[in-house]
């Protein structure tokens, strides 16, 4: 029986994780969970799974949840310290790090420092503090399993040992991208994209932030950086391939010309179940892939003129230091501004580029450098949005 700490329980990854826990009650139990402000959803989780500890993002949300869940033997808590505490709790065996954005970094590190198996669905942790993050994984000898479908596919396509996947005789990593809802749109058409259109991903059911990132290809840029840290490569060793069907989730090309791919229907329960049960496999509710029904798989190169965020991510990697934290912070501000209709869809990439070029990039020596870069970049981005000075 594995005790699970689910960071980000009310999001799409959290909900799929709960589905796996419910399907295998003999293998997994929900020990601790967190959410930000989704009180009603968390109340349902508490009633069904009865975790020991639950952390909310504010005192008000905590109090509302405690009121709705009167009679349940659950410790209701709130705030950053409580979040770190539930990830490092002695009753926890695995931490599912599914808090979206920069906010997921500290509690994920708390779980790593406590020696917990870490299932990483928060790419921003690696994007903003990649070297520090991976140094902590090595220092505490933690099993780190990527949950993003693409990185999970790469992991599955690499040689496996008793300690996990290892890069051996690899020529290139082939990172697939669906291309998002605007894959075939012109720049003129994308000028008038609405938040509602951008949130309608053709293959995946995701939250607003990641849906917008997928539409702008920033999600693939962040995944490019994540892959570099996870698999000890550079952007020159990673090819992004647009694959609209999202059936092949990523591939590894070997020196002898072989290419190994992981395929499956587009459902996050597959990589989640793989991470939770590694090195074994368990059943999910996902229907098996029927290649006859799929019939055809298509591939194309990404268009960097229409989707410049992908190149910005590569540029940030080579700039090094705090550049990746700057890009991530700016993009979070840009996506929020787009969702609030303060800027247009194409302005997301423009703002990302302007702040990245204007920011003071310094070496990352500790987490304080990362947090300062995040704070500074958000302030700079908000100022540019306010003045309109970024196009």
Binding residues for NADPH: 10-13, 122, 124, 207
Radius of gyration of the chain (CA): 20
Rounded to 5 degrees, what are φ and ψ at 385? -65, -45
Buried b (16+ CB within 10 A) or exposed e, 147-156: bbbbbbbbbb
367-387 and 347-358 are packed helices; what angle lies between their axes, rounded to 10 degrees?
A: 130
Distance CA 265, CA 246 (A): 8
Q: How far is CA 91 from CA 4, 75, 164, 240, in A?
A: 9, 14, 24, 40
Distance CA 358, CA 356 (A): 6
- Binding annotation for 1-deoxy-D-xylulose 5-phosphate: 123, 149-150, 178, 201, 214, 219-220, 223
Distance CA 346, CA 364 (A): 30
Asked if 349 contacts 219 with a C-beta cutoff of 8 angstroms, the reply is no
Asked if 171 contacts 254 with a C-beta cutoff of 8 angstroms, the reply is yes
Cis peptide before 279 (omega within 30 of 0): yes
- Binding annotation: 10-13, 122-124, 148-150, 178, 201, 207, 214, 219-220, 223
Asked if 155 contacts 132 with a C-beta cutoff of 8 angstroms, the reply is no
Residue from 311, 337, 160 nearest 240 by CA: 311
- Binding annotation for Mn(2+): 148, 150, 223
Question: Which residues, listed in sequence order, are joined to residue 239 by a DSSP beta bridge?
Answer: 174
Residue from 334, 314, 302 nearest 212 by CA: 334
């Amino acid at each position: 029986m594995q005790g699970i700490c689910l960071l980000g329980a009310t999001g799409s990854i959290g909900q799929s994780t709960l589905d796996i826990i419910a399907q295998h009650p003999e293998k997994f139990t929900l020990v601790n969970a967190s959410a930000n402000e989704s009180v009603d959803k968390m109340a349902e989780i508490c009633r069904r799974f009865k975790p020991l500890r639950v952390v909310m993002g504010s005192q008000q949300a905590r109090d509302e949840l405690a009121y709705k869940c009167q009679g349940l033997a659950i410790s209701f808590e709130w705030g950053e310290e409580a979040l770190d505490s539930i990830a490092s709790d002695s009753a926890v065996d695995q931490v599912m790090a599914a808090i979206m954005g920069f906010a997921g970094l500290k509690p994920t590190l708390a779980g790593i420092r406590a020696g917990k198996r870490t299932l990483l669905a928060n790419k921003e942790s690696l994007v903003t503090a990649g070297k520090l993050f991976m140094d902590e994984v090595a220092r505490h000898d933690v099993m780190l399993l990527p949950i993003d479908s693409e990185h999970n596919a790469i992991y599955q396509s690499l040689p496996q040992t008793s300690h996990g996947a290892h890069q051996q005789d690899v020529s290139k990593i082939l990172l697939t991208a669906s291309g998002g809802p605007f894959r075939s749109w012109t720049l003129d058409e994308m000028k008038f994209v609405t938040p509602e259109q951008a949130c309608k991903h053709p293959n995946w059911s995701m939250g607003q932030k990641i849906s917008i990132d997928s539409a702008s290809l920033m999600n693939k840029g962040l995944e490019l950086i994540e892959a570099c840290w996870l698999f000890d490569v550079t952007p020159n060793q990673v090819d992004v391939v647009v694959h609209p069907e999202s059936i092949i989730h990523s591939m590894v090309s070997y020196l002898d010309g072989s290419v190994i791919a992981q395929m499956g229907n587009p459902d996050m329960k597959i990589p989640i179940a793989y991470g939770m049960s590694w090195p074994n496999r368990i059943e999910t509710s996902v229907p098996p892939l029927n290649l006859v029904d799929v019939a055809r798989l298509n591939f194309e190169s990404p268009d960097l003129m229409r989707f410049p965020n992908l190149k910005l991510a590569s540029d940030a990697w080579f700039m090094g230091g705090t550049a990746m934290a700057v890009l991530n912070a700016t993009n979070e501000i840009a996506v929020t501004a787009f969702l609030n209709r303060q800027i247009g869809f194409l302005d997301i990439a423009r703002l990302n580029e302007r702040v990245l070029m204007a920011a003071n990039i310094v070496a990352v020596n500790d987490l304080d450098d990362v947090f300062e870069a995040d704070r500074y970049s958000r302030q700079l981005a908000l100022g540019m949005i306010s003045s309109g000075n970024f196009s």
